[in-house]
Structure 1
């Protein structure tokens, strides 16, 4: 690929062919340029920039909804800013839409540079954040930036992933397909007669979350979604299996992002504060209304997931169950799994991302047979900057290995070794609330209060895990409950992305920039270049997991522990894909409270662990080795739930009903 002076990406050796009846100029097969009508859409390779961005039509409309959650007696309206190609006179070409719905357009901004929407004196969009409009509008797409209800120029109130935000955004797609009403600022009704009605939603974090939620409504016209670091269950965003990840997260988000006058949304904020139920950690109807996975059977759109495996904000457990549910329904899908944290792929793999996204939209919104769906489903970053393609994800050949927890030497236990017959297979630890992750995971052979460490032998060959691991424990506690935290650690020197420990999310800005699309006097297409934040470290945390022990069997109905009773519990670890190199040691670190990534209600519990009934279950892909240690006890692969990142202890069946209760079994 080459960069033209305008910043537009072009393909070497491509010819331009005007396709009769489409009004689009598309890169097609080799040869001289021609107007031959026999060149079909199916023969085209990709859309190319033939429309002027500087001369694009820019307009604003307000789409009417059937909602009124601000209680003013008027239907809530969502503001829609549009940038679309200006066609030559007499050209009746209709264009598809790329849509991003966001609460951030007027406050925190979008992208690495926190760009905000900017308007001219008449209230028409002058600068649209990010590069989507700069790059895709010249290629025959419209770009739409939707202000979520209650933000910027929309009415209504934020309900943080609830029906207001989802249905109001759905109404925009309905308008694009002639099923809803929109008006200009002067009250004049306006019809979207310029679009094909095909819509692709995209966005990072909250924006991608809305894409997931709208797709789960089954709205007609939504053809594809590209959720980046997105939420599929808001319960999982504020909780981790009954543990509290942060207080007042839902009400706090609504308050900080609101664009409405003071007092207008107080009732909605109170409802959020009550519904989030911070005092219990329970899953309830409030969270069920913000859980999109039970409605996966309604999804009509293809899905391109991107999620950082070290995302400590929107954790990988958000994409895992969603991905598994899509797979059970055979939804067309693709996935990228980088090592960074909460980062847009534009800022860690820019050229490959723009090229792939371009081809994805060309296929799903323009119908171009460019072969992208015949390519590998998954791209996984094995090491910083080193990517490997996989035909499917989780990887082919993945199976479950169950590694027992051995008694060890009194300071560290063994991982993959049977407990000694001469020692009582029992280890005990007490909650130390001040214990940080850095302290808990460092110096694994040194005794430290508040933790248990189990170590494998040095690996004779590299192994790969792909999917969701679990820690099965038989415990006894002297308190009615306790948080349980598990970390899987790769002990061994390696170059690693510093996405969590450095606080950079895994990238750092450079002093250069690159351009991706065309610029106008008010909206440039150039963005700061970045590089991965990488260093050689002695060890790295692969994945983490949490459980409030009282929620061991149900998230809706917790039950206290009896101090004289042993209980079987499962701590699910976040979904991951990682290679542990030969010569490294695989470690399992158990503590109670996690002061770094949760806001635990510390009980000070002392916890006994029955090693003979406890194990680490790993979804393993053989890389020439059959086990992680010579003494490993292998379990048959009868537990496919471990391989597909479950939210329950069994994968959803093929006839998964729409009314499926995700809390019927453990979440």
Structure 2
């Protein structure tokens, strides 16, 4: 294992002493205490559960100081030294003697797993320095030692601290000095500038608030806001009925000369009803709630002086309006909550009396959190430049809905969800349907508007049009004023990596601070991982952005942090999406091979049609389909794909950016589609795409508060291959995604496209392979038609950016 810790802040000695005093971890007579007495004082603090000297002695006997003495006996006649200090430190951090480290040389293991340590312990000042940094060091369970103490109740003594002394900052981060057993839960209804259900009234939006009781005593706190359309329930049975059939032929599109100007979306919000007249004001909400659909990183910060707000938005249970799947209206529904928190919009205590309530407890600073649709709405909100939004932590987020449901002029499903589309997701999240009385009033209007979404999304063509342009947040990135954290899985084929890659490129043009984390997982959160201090980094980040504490968050957190796919627990820091000087290598095509030397004059062909029994098997068993697709052994897909491989690499390489492909291709019909996989071939152990659970409920967000599982990516048993990235294109969209070009049967055309972006460590001895095929059983339509394709190899090229390691 390795622990990659970035959020530890170097502090001058005077600051360390001051902060240790603030958390009652510093004796008044520290300057006069002998070394062992000072050390015992620190031990007594960290073992605070022991309320008697006998119990403390019992605990000290439980630690091994040397190979022959426990800690209690050692301190009775010897002075603490560097080796013993860190032997005990390792045990305090949860590491086991012999199994995890050598008691005689703990520093060797600390260096191996990247744990910070000092190199000298000669006097009391050295001891104080080392102890302060030990409290900030991550343990075996993926939390700092101080957070582990917090989970056991150390900070309970500070719950009654004067609000003028809160939040409590240690090492640049807020500490859990807030009583989570007394959190205030309340509901308000924010008035938007929308009327998406066309009832002649502005849509009211339900917001659920969780805030510290200290706010009642005058403390103003910042907010972590999560916009989640799923929070009020989903309509799974209904969406199953309207999910689209993908076992249909690819449709030929009538050639056209459509330009972007013809399809560009321009937002209008005319005929907006008048705002409600305020009939009175109140500081107290009239409604509370119990269970919340919590985001675990939000729970962590509820103990540390932040409020949390959840809002599902228009068209959800207890709110007005309709779901519209990624539209401008959904963005404005999201920002309405921020505007209220910042004091720039009205909210009411209920939906009928028009009694206004302000966010008087909020300091006006907001961050947005969440994954997938939640992170998508955070990105969308940021593109408005809304006042009060200081930062977003956007995880696995969509930056353009076309890149979620389409690719290269094709209908492309999010991985694992063939047949889903914008209309299906709108129906899925339209939780007003769960309240029969409310649904009765809106049913007819919603069904009409849902039918319009179905029409406008245009599954027949798969083209980029006004509907998708309205849902392209990249166009509005220049409006972003807040700082941005992005997190994405390099194996996320639900929200594909192009979404974060394109967003990162556009943000690179702005004078804001941005951070990017790329992990090896799929569609997941990473705040509960052993190998990286993500939660601690976000504490550093949010303490800086929302509380204004100067803690060097911008400098300490890497600009780009990438998890290595070839070894466990390894993260690399970069200045950008790629290393400084990766080279571009132009690979030529030979029969079954990729070469840097020359191409072959051959023309090769493959078919798309399968026997009915094989087609029916593969569309239900994607693992079997992938296995046969990437196999060079005879199987039902032999003849239905082309595989081109490089020689075995003599050194490790680091693949970066987007593979660019140029092909000369013909179809035997007047239409066609191609799919591609870039593959790592070689029978080796690889990092799994699904993290392993190391311990259930091992991570505490505070004292007797919410818990989370500890997870980590582990190496799997050897596998013969690993898909690195993929891509798709409709041959009729070879110029762009909105123009249909003609395809004549058996005529060759030049095709240029970028595959999805990558960051991949290919190890020495393995081969890179490009697989060309047509129907993607997981993502494209599956017509099983009599389509075949020819490829002129001498006119093909694969451009790859990589660095030799």
Q: Is the pair's TM-score, using the shorter chain for normalization, greater than 0.5?
A: yes
Correspondent of 1:46 among 137, 155, 173: 173
Deviations 1:127-146 (Å, cap 9, x if unpaired)? 45133443212311111011
- The answer as to 2:514 corresponding to 1:514 is no
Hey, what's the Cα distance between the residues in 2 that align with 1:307 and 1:217? Answer: 22
Distance change in 2, residues 1:453/1:134 (3 Å): closer
Match of 2:148 in 1: 4
Match of 1:268 in 2: 449
- The answer as to 2:338 corresponding to 1:194 is no
Hey, what's the Cα distance between the residues in 2 that align with 1:489 and 1:416? Answer: 18
Hey, what's the Cα distance between the residues in 1 that align with 2:408 and 2:225? Answer: 33
* 1:11-50 correspondence runs (5 A): 23-27=166-170, 45-50=172-177
Correspondent of 2:733 among 524, 541, 551: 551
Distance change in 2, residues 1:531/1:26 (3 Å): closer
Deviation at 1:620, TM superposition (A): 1.2
Deviations 1:11-38 (Å, cap 9, x if unpaired)? 9xxx99x99967422115xxxxxxxxxx
Deviation at 1:297, TM superposition (A): 0.3
Distance change in 2, residues 1:596/1:398 (3 Å): farther
Match of 2:202 in 1: 75
Deviations 1:27-85 (Å, cap 9, x if unpaired)? 15xxxxxxxxxxxxxxxx11112221111222110100121111222211111111112
Match of 2:133 in 1: none
Deviation at 1:328, TM superposition (A): 2.2
Hey, what's the Cα distance between the residues in 2 that align with 1:398 and 1:494? Answer: 28
Match of 1:438 in 2: 627
Distance change in 2, residues 1:265/1:6 (3 Å): farther
* 1:377-416 correspondence runs (5 A): 377-383=559-565, 385-408=568-591, 412-416=592-596
Hey, what's the Cα distance between the residues in 2 that align with 1:151 and 1:8? Answer: 39
Deviations 1:575-595 (Å, cap 9, x if unpaired)? 110011111111111111111
Hey, what's the Cα distance between the residues in 1 that align with 2:188 and 2:758? Answer: 42
Match of 1:179 in 2: 344
Deviation at 1:219, TM superposition (A): 0.7
Deviations 1:546-603 (Å, cap 9, x if unpaired)? 1111111121121121235432112321111001111111111111111123235565
Indicate conservation of the 8 Å contact 1:183/1:189, yes or no: yes
User: Which one has a larger percent strand, Structure 1 or Structure 2?
Assistant: 1
Distance change in 2, residues 1:563/1:599 (3 Å): closer
Deviation at 1:86, TM superposition (A): 1.8
- The answer as to 2:435 corresponding to 1:252 is no
Hey, what's the Cα distance between the residues in 2 that align with 1:259 and 1:10? Answer: 42
Hey, what's the Cα distance between the residues in 2 that align with 1:465 and 1:19? Answer: 54
Hey, what's the Cα distance between the residues in 1 that align with 2:537 and 2:781? Answer: 39
Distance change in 2, residues 1:351/1:587 (3 Å): closer
Deviations 1:104-149 (Å, cap 9, x if unpaired)? 113369xxxxxxxxxx995434545133443212311111011121
Deviation at 1:470, TM superposition (A): 1.6
Match of 2:193 in 1: 66
Correspondent of 2:400 among 221, 233, 245: 233
Indicate conservation of the 8 Å contact 2:215/2:361, yes or no: no
Indicate conservation of the 8 Å contact 1:245/1:600, yes or no: no
* 1:461-476 correspondence runs (5 A): 461-476=651-666
- The answer as to 2:670 corresponding to 1:480 is yes
Deviation at 1:308, TM superposition (A): 0.5
Indicate conservation of the 8 Å contact 2:607/2:789, yes or no: yes
Distance change in 2, residues 1:399/1:351 (3 Å): closer
- The answer as to 2:776 corresponding to 1:594 is yes
SS of the residue 1:219 aligns to: coil
User: Which one has a larger percent helix, Structure 1 or Structure 2?
Assistant: 2
Deviations 1:398-441 (Å, cap 9, x if unpaired)? 43524333323xxx233434124xxx332222224647332111
Deviation at 1:221, TM superposition (A): 1.1
Distance change in 2, residues 1:557/1:603 (3 Å): farther
Match of 1:451 in 2: 641
Hey, what's the Cα distance between the residues in 1 that align with 2:785 and 2:509? Answer: 40
Indicate conservation of the 8 Å contact 1:481/1:603, yes or no: no
Distance change in 2, residues 1:73/1:350 (3 Å): farther
Hey, what's the Cα distance between the residues in 2 that align with 1:136 and 1:335? Answer: 21
Q: Any unmatched runs of 5+ in structure 1?
A: 29-44, 110-119, 500-505, 624-667
Hey, what's the Cα distance between the residues in 2 that align with 1:236 and 1:75? Answer: 32
Q: Any unmatched runs of 5+ in structure 2?
A: 1-143, 236-284, 414-418, 434-438, 619-624
SS of the residue 1:149 aligns to: coil
Hey, what's the Cα distance between the residues in 2 that align with 1:616 and 1:238? Answer: 26
Between structure 1 and structure 2, the one with the greater Rg is 2
Q: Number of matched residues?
A: 577
Distance change in 2, residues 1:200/1:232 (3 Å): same
Deviation at 1:341, TM superposition (A): 0.6
Match of 2:684 in 1: 494
Distance change in 2, residues 1:606/1:131 (3 Å): closer
Match of 2:232 in 1: 106
Correspondent of 1:331 among 512, 520, 543: 512
Correspondent of 2:720 among 530, 535, 538: 538
Distance change in 2, residues 1:370/1:589 (3 Å): same
Indicate conservation of the 8 Å contact 1:404/1:611, yes or no: no
Indicate conservation of the 8 Å contact 1:403/1:417, yes or no: no
Hey, what's the Cα distance between the residues in 1 that align with 2:581 and 2:771? Answer: 24
Distance change in 2, residues 1:20/1:68 (3 Å): closer
- The answer as to 2:289 corresponding to 1:124 is yes
SS of the residue 1:468 aligns to: strand
- Of residues 226-235 and 121-130 in structure 1, the stretch that sits farther from structure 2 once superposed is 121-130
Distance change in 2, residues 1:584/1:152 (3 Å): same
Deviation at 1:273, TM superposition (A): 0.8
Indicate conservation of the 8 Å contact 1:234/1:291, yes or no: yes
Distance change in 2, residues 1:543/1:398 (3 Å): farther
Deviation at 1:348, TM superposition (A): 4.2
Indicate conservation of the 8 Å contact 1:302/1:331, yes or no: yes
